[in-house]
């Protein structure tokens, strides 16, 4: 048989703390250690005399007087799996919000979002300041070079600085050359693309075609292949021209015309007026 743990009444021994197992059943109650030295430190922190609570008495302190995430030795395991509460050896009750005459001996932990915003702001400010200092250095170098060219005196530039300036100029020129590939006025590739698009937009009608590039008859009539002049389109959408008036074949540049349609079950024949006109 499973051992049944006995539940008994618990109350917090800190003066002015109203936490009990009846009033606040969801709170955790940490037992005062049995060790004499640790027990004395807990009693002193809670403002309890040694004679107030006997050594044989089991006293408890509620979770309001601890920071469980930092004070518990197995906080994560206890939250996930439960079990015994193991406090760190050097921990004593240190939060006493129930006693207004005592100063709070703990500090509120900053929120993670606020910390991230502060770090991001510091990084942005440092990047901006470094960029400004680099621009100032470059401007000073340019002024020195201009002054040296205008005057006869020569100014010696450190080798590393000269190499850095040269690499910067080379990278800028290579970037300009790479961007010229996308300029339609200078790039031959862009010109070929424009010519290709223009040629595609001006497609020539093949010889013998009775329909134009939009699927209309050469006479200008947009007739459905069902030969009904008032039909808005009764076929499935054409995969080529996306029209609902194309029958078994797309009408774009088609070289034949449907003369008639015969309905065998009704002994009915529908004639194409465009074929009769032509």
Residue 134, SS3 per DSSP: helix
Residue 150 has pLDDT above 80, yes or no: no
Instruction: State pTM to two decimals.
Output: 0.36
| Nearby residues of 68 by Cβ (< 8 Å), 6 or more positions away | 28, 75
Residue 141 confidence class, pLDDT cut points 50, 70, 90: low
Predicted confidence at residue 5, as pLDDT, reads 46
CA distance 255 to 206: 9
Quote the CA–CA distance of 119 and 123 in Å, as a whole number: 6
pLDDT tens track for 185-203: 667 777 777 777 666 555 5
Least trusted range by pLDDT, from 132-146, 184-198, 234-248, 257-271: 132-146
Mean pLDDT of 230-254: 89
Nearest of 68, 67, 88, 92 to residue 78 by alpha carbon = 68
Every domain of the chain and the residues it spans? 8-106, 209-278
Report the C-alpha gap between 189 and 227 in whole angstroms.
Answer: 47
Q: 277 pLDDT band (50/70/90 cuts)?
A: low
For the cut 50, the answer to whether the pLDDT of residue 87 exceeds it is yes
Supply the pLDDT for residue 156. Answer: 58
- Considering only CA atoms, which of 75, 92, 78, 68 is closest in space to residue 14? 92
pLDDT greater at residue 155 or residue 232: 232
Does position 62 have pLDDT exceeding 90, yes or no?
yes
Share of the chain above pLDDT 90, in %: 10
Most confident residue range from 4-8, 62-66, 100-104, 195-199 = 62-66
Spatial distance between the Cα atoms of 78 and 75, rounded to a whole number of angstroms? 5
Q: Is the CA virtual torsion 67, 69, 72, 73 positive or negative? A: negative
Find, among 200, 181, 178, the residue nearest to 191 by Cα. 181
Select the highest-mean-pLDDT range: 84-93, 152-161, 163-172: 84-93
* Average pLDDT of the residues in 39-59: 87
Q: Is the confidence at residue 130, as pLDDT, over 80?
A: no
Q: Taking residues 15-34, what's their average pLDDT?
A: 90
């Amino acid at each position: 048989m499973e051992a049944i743990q006995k539940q008994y009444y618990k109350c917090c021994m800190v003066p002015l703390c109203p936490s009990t197992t009846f009033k606040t059943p969801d709170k955790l109650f940490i037992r005062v250690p049995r060790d004499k030295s640790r027990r004395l430190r807990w009693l002193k922190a809670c403002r309890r005399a040694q004679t107030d609570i006997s050594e044989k008495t089991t006293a408890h302190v509620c979770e309001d007087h601890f920071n469980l995430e930092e004070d518990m030795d197995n906080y994560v395991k206890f939250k996930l799996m439960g079990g015994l509460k193991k406090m760190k050896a050097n921990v004593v009750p240190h939060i006493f919000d129930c006693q207004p005459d005592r100063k709070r001996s703990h500090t509120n932990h900053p929120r993670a979002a606020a910390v991230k915003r502060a770090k991001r702001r510091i990084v942005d400010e440092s990047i901006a300041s470094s960029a400004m200092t680099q621009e100032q250095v470059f401007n000073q170098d340019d002024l020195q070079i201009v002054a040296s060219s205008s005057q006869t005196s020569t100014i010696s530039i450190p080798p590393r600085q000269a190499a850095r300036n040269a690499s910067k100029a080379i990278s800028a020129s290579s970037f300009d050359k790479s961007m010229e590939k996308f300029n339609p006025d200078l790039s031959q590739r862009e010109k070929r693309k424009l010519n290709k698009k223009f040629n595609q937009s001006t497609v020539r009608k093949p010889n013998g075609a009775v329909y134009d590039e939009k699927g209309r008859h050469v006479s200008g009539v947009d007739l459905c292949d069902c030969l009904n002049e008032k039909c808005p389109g009764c076929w499935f959408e054409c995969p080529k021209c996306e029209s609902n008036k194309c029958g078994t074949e797309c009408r774009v540049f088609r070289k034949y015309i449907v003369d008639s349609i015969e309905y065998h079950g009704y002994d009915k024949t529908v004639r194409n007026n465009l074929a009769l006109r032509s």
